[in-house]
Structure 1
Amino acid sequence: MKRYDLITPEGTRDLLFEECLARRMVENKLTTLFSRFGYSEVVTPGIEFYDLFSGSSRNFQQESMYKLTDSKGRLIVMRPDSTIPIARLASTRLKDAKRPLRLYYNQSIYENNALLKGRSDEVVQTGIELLGGTNTKRADYEVLCTAVEALAEFDEEKFRLEIGHIGYFKELVARLDVDERVREEIRLLISQKNYPALNDLLDEVGENQITHTLKQLPRLFGGVEVFDKAAELFTDDKITAILSTLKEVYSRVSSLGYDGKISVDLGIVSHTDYYTGIVFKGYISGVGSSVLKGGRYDGLMAEFGEPCPAVGFGVNCDEIARYLRKNCLAPTLKSADCIVFGEKGYVVEAIAFAQKLVRDGMVIENSLFDTLEETKEYAASKGIHKIFIINENVSHIEI
């Protein structure tokens, strides 16, 4: 019989020592960066009512959420997303606050992934939300440039940011005479860049200009040439306006010294329904999946009674921490500066002396052993080279 009290649930794991140091460093760098750009921290509850994630544009699959009931029998979920709770918070607690609002968060999200996917069910995510403002282009530029700065914090040379527009996909797929299930399957196959399965599905739908364009969507990534390719495949007034908006954003952001780090990807089709405009993903070379995701979501706040344009992104701190440790870029665990040993009858005095050293800025350990020899053996095993000995006097030895 499996001892469930000795293991963690699938999709979760314990973190030890240097793993904790690496993740904390990632969190600290990001929160410091966001603070310097004028963002203020907010924290939302780890559990929320199920209803929060079942609105028209915030419809998370039931199977993907961890669910429980409260004392009154109401359905509760563990937070699967941070943007939606912050939209709720901004529409209620910050309803009368002057716009734009610049908010950042640093908290876990929970997703019940299918078994054997190799993905974590608990992820620490740090991100920003820029809510309000009359000029959405300025807001897009600010958030995209902040995203670039966030990636550059961890590797200035090996990151890239891919920018798309969810409107391109939504306009095309809305014109297909298929049900929502088929639309979702098309979206999933495009996001996976699964060309054979996508082609088979669209062949079943029927050959026309729209299905032909959707077949090419996963291939529409690269530089400025993508816009000409997309225009050749399908064009009308709405599509032209979407491509024009995206091209301007791409050109402006690329011109800010990020040339070569920014690319276009019209195949970014997030499973999150609330995105309405610019969408983007950030990558670091050597990490198999995106470490940053974001976009514009102008309709979400209206669902809480406070219409307001908004844009933001979240960073997967766990993925970046693993990357830093793998490439020896993370902090390492350091030994204490010294260990304090109190001889018999001087235990309290030893603790008092240790407290003084801590106030002076030293990292110390207090010996829990009865003899100096045992303390020496322990210190040697931990790489501690100085022992303070406390009796009627204070002395120290080097080992």
Structure 2
Amino acid sequence: MFLPAGSQDETGIQISNRLRASEIFRRVTQKRDFQQISTPVVEYAHTFTNEVAGMDLHSMLKWFNGEGEIEVLRPDWTAAIARAIAGQHPSKQKWSYQGSVFRFDKEDTENRQAGIEIVHADRFFGEAESLLTAVTYLNNINIHSYVIELGHTGIFDALIAPFTFNKDDEEELLKAMHDKRSDLVEEIVGKSGNSELVKPLLALIDAYGSRDIIDQYRKRWADREDLTEILTHIEKLIDLLEASGVTEVIVDLGRVKNLPYYDGIMFRGFLTNDGSTCFSGGRYDRLYQQFEQTTSAVGLAFDVDELAKHMEPEQEPEKICIIASPETHAIAEKFRMEMEEQVVDIQYELKNQTTYHQIFQVVEENSQYKVVEK
């Protein structure tokens, strides 16, 4: 039968790599003292669509339950974890998770993620620990060709703050900036009567590249303490990454939030061989306002499916076959248990001997069974 759009079957190396990526993530985060957490795959839609979280219901897989309330398959880990840990003691700061999210607006409806959330911690510590955990994890799965991008929601917010936009225009402007559509930015800003904002926003779209961009904009924004503080903050994170051995760091001063709850530093990781995004995240302090908490919160999520595509296959162990029969299967099984390092297959009839490094068979000799090489 055919599958729905966005669904796919998987076999072989992709599954093996993904399981290995998940196990390595568990070990890396355990060693860095993250506590594991899991949330239900089915949640109330309000967890994600409330005024603070602000996610779009149309992109979610949803239905009405027996009480007439809308339930969804989990579309986002961060909002779900915020709900789950809002009542936890603030001494519990570092959390890790693994599992799927489900969205209609992605190429694949199901996307497998592994991620971290750091809550109630020093702001710079949380950002530093998030980025360095990402570096450690990528190194541990032998992915070394990647670029880390840093941006900040505060730059766009500060530039448009003196101007008036209705809600629809502001959302359109955010999308146009996100897509780096200069033509749309100019059209939206002009239509709203804020033409003097056009030039700064168009310049911001091109404010992308090495850390030299920071020096350029520090001069341009010399009279804007709020913006130069953001530049200094980004530069401190670049210094941290470079001191930790990361050589490919880029800055996107024109990046805007792609989820409503982001409110500060944002980061992404790109694989250099094809430009695919392997992780993304950022600061989302405001997400906890719905729980009447003023706190620090930051995190990131890895696209495990994408990472699995780029991981080198694990070296296959020696593969052995034992030819047995219903009467000798138990003898073959005992022999299999003694071979801890090899992959051992038991067959009653050998159909393709080229797939095995060695072939054994159970034979009867002097009224006793034994396993011999064929």
Moved more, 246-255 or 287-296: 246-255
Tell me, in whole angstroms, the C-alpha distance in 2 between the residues paired with 1:358 and 1:68.
48
Q: CA deviation at 1:340?
A: 3.9
1:287-306 CA-to-partner distances (Å, cap 9, x unmatched) read 33311101111121231234
Q: Which residue of 2 aligns with 1:12?
A: 7
Contact 2:321 2:356 in 1 (8 A): no
Contact 2:317 2:343 in 1 (8 A): no
Tell me, in whole angstroms, the C-alpha distance in 2 between the residues paired with 1:73 and 1:283.
42
Q: CA deviation at 1:17?
A: 1.6
User: Letter of the aligned partner of 2:114 in structure 1?
Assistant: T
Contact 2:52 2:289 in 1 (8 A): no
The alignment's TM-score, normalised by the length of structure 1, stands at 0.84
Q: Does 1:226 align with 2:213?
A: yes
Counterpart among 317, 321, 324 of residue 341 in structure 1:
324
Q: Does 1:350 align with 2:329?
A: yes
Q: Which residue of 2 aligns with 1:291?
A: 278
Counterpart among 243, 255, 259 of residue 243 in structure 2:
255
The alignment's TM-score, normalised by the length of structure 2, stands at 0.89
What is the percent sequence identity of the aligned residues? 22
TM alignment of 1:272-351, pairs within 5 A: 272-324=259-311, 329-331=312-314, 336-342=319-325, 347=326, 349-351=328-330
Tell me, in whole angstroms, the C-alpha distance in 1 between the residues paired with 2:280 and 2:300.
5
User: Letter of the aligned partner of 1:99 in structure 2?
Assistant: S
Contact 1:351 1:366 in 2 (8 A): no
Tell me, in whole angstroms, the C-alpha distance in 1 between the residues paired with 2:321 and 2:116.
41
Q: CA deviation at 1:337?
A: 2.1
Q: Which residue of 2 aligns with 1:372?
A: none
Q: Which residue of 2 aligns with 1:383?
A: 356
* Cα-Cα RMSD: 2.4
What is the total number of aligned residue pairs between the two structures?
A: 369
Q: Does 1:363 align with 2:351?
A: no
Q: CA deviation at 1:356?
A: 5.2
Moved more, 276-285 or 210-219: 210-219
User: Letter of the aligned partner of 1:364 in structure 2?
Assistant: V
Q: CA deviation at 1:33?
A: 1.3
Q: Which residue of 2 aligns with 1:74?
A: 69
The change in CA–CA distance for 1:364 and 1:189 in structure 2 (over 3 A counts) is: same
The change in CA–CA distance for 1:352 and 1:9 in structure 2 (over 3 A counts) is: farther
Q: Does 1:145 align with 2:132?
A: yes
SS at match of 2:345: strand
Q: CA deviation at 1:360?
A: 4.4
SS at match of 1:300: helix
SS at match of 2:270: strand
Q: Which residue of 1 aligns with 2:230?
A: 242
Moved more, 301-310 or 291-300: 301-310
Counterpart among 199, 205, 208 of residue 212 in structure 1:
199
Tell me, in whole angstroms, the C-alpha distance in 1 between the residues paired with 2:331 and 2:68.
52
Q: Which residue of 1 aligns with 2:370?
A: 394
Q: Which residue of 1 aligns with 2:44?
A: 49
Tell me, in whole angstroms, the C-alpha distance in 1 between the residues paired with 2:319 and 2:302.
32
Q: CA deviation at 1:273?
A: 1.3
Tell me, in whole angstroms, the C-alpha distance in 1 between the residues paired with 2:305 and 2:215.
38
Moved more, 169-178 or 287-296: 169-178
SS at match of 1:276: coil
Tell me, in whole angstroms, the C-alpha distance in 1 between the residues paired with 2:98 and 2:181.
33
Contact 1:99 1:131 in 2 (8 A): no
Tell me, in whole angstroms, the C-alpha distance in 2 between the residues paired with 1:151 and 1:280.
15
Q: Does 1:197 align with 2:184?
A: yes
